Chain A
Amino acid sequence: MTDINKQKFLAELAQLLTFMYEEDRQDALLVYSGMFDEAEDEQALLQALVSPIRQAVLVARAYNATERKLSAHSETRGEVRDDSVPPDFLQAIFEIRAEAMARQAPRAEAQKADENQFSLFDQAAEEHAAAAVSAVTAPGEAHPAEPVEKAEAPAADELVEESAPAAEPDAEEAEEPDAEEAEEPAPAEEAEDEDEDAEDEDEHRFVTVVDGASSIKERTVRKPRVFLLILYILLAIPVTLVGIVLLLLPTLLSLSAAALLISVGIMAVSSVFGGFAVLADLLVVLGAALILLALGLLFLWLFIWFIGGAIGGLIRGVCALGRKWCYKEVPAV
């Protein structure tokens, strides 16, 4: 039974830590697994750790994704990784381990952790949790796990949202025996309550961290400014049409020049093999034909550029300007 709780804890923690790079995630899970192996009383350790969500929040607070990305890039370039100083998130996990081990020692009554805190898993998710635990023990990749885990992120979000209210009463129940047994003064207990409130806020804020963003994103909606949009359309259409007509003149001229030059060049090449007896004359006509064909190719490309680049760019630019001027971003309700 204790193994199942440990497996469930590690499996859920593995799902919640998908925002980390795969190597870092594996390191963190190894430390937590070692914590369970070292602990004499596993239930007491689970009680000290409270819940996987809380541990994920603590690790997320200590994890610096930008710094880890820079170190990952330097490793791919062949630079030696400095293992003498563990990363911040590992140091935080070591502190959690030390605190958990210290809490286990004075505890006389061992209360079994409520297995219902892992009731997030339904039958289908339990199988997935077992697969995730086996993936934890497999060698990790050097690439970040974020794009691979995007499909799991919505499920993880749902799990986080469902477990946040369920974890709160469990966290409170776990905190009560600590408050009863500890011989701390009243101000320290008030400080603990403030910490709990801050951690609860962190858990709610963590919901957006699990989405894969390192900062809280506000949802915005683009709304049109109707009067301005109508006015812009009324002005932009004739201006764009005039621009297109002006651009069509050089477009058609370049097309006709290309057609003329290419046809004359082809005729010159065909005449080279039919009418000239002297090699010198043949070389002169061939050279002239090559020059004509080259200029024809240039004008042909100029025609294509006018159609796709100039006229197309004019239309795209007018549309982009309209979107910029006639729409505003409003926070989503």
Chain B
Amino acid sequence: MKKAWSVILAIVFGAILLGAVCIGVGYITGADISRITAVIEGSPVHAYVQMLIQYWNEAVTTATDYASTIHLF
């Protein structure tokens, strides 16, 4: 299990580092957030993302309500 944790954490940190480098290079070479958001809002991906975020918020709310109910008992 320890070896698996170290492998997973290495992959995660490597991907985060690579993503940060990509973002940095993009901003350095002239990326514009307003252009990016305009493209994202115009694509169907935005609707799916909004739906998923809504599902996530509902799941968190349900979990906290359940936890508070158990605590009451």
Contacts and interface: CB of A to CB of B under 8 A. Distances in A.
A297 B12 contact: yes
Given A249-B67, A286-B22, A280 B29 contact: yes
Contacts of B26: 279-284, 286-287
22 contacts: A252-B63, A263-B52, A264-B49, A264-B52, A271-B39, A271-B45, A275-B39, A276-B39, A281-B32, A281-B36, A281-B39, A283-B22, A283-B25, A284-B22, A287-B19, A287-B22, A287-B26, A288-B19, A290-B18, A293-B15, A294-B15, A294-B19
Determine the main DSSP class of A at the interface with B. helix
A68 to B, nearest CB: 35
A207 interface: no
Nearest to A304: B4
B27 to A, nearest CB: 7
A291 B36 CA distance: 17
Contact of B52 (A260, A270, A290): A260
A286 B19 CA distance: 7
A295 B15 CA distance: 9
Interface string B54-70: 01100110010011001
Interface in A240-279: 245, 249, 252-253, 256-257, 260, 263-264, 267-268, 270-271, 274-276, 278-279
A252 B58 CA distance: 13
Contacts of B29: 279-280, 283
Given A263-B52, A282-B26, A294 B31 contact: no
Contacts of A275: 39-40, 42-43
A287 B42 contact: no
Q: Is the interface of B mostly helix, strand, loop or mixed?
A: helix
Contacts of A154: none
A141 B19 CA distance: 57
A287 B45 contact: no
A301 interface: yes
Nearest to B4: A301
Interface string B7-35: 01101111110111111111101111001
User: Which interface residue of B5, B20, B22 has the most chain A CB atoms within 10 A?
Assistant: B22
B72 interface: no
Contact of B23 (A249, A256, A271, A284): A284
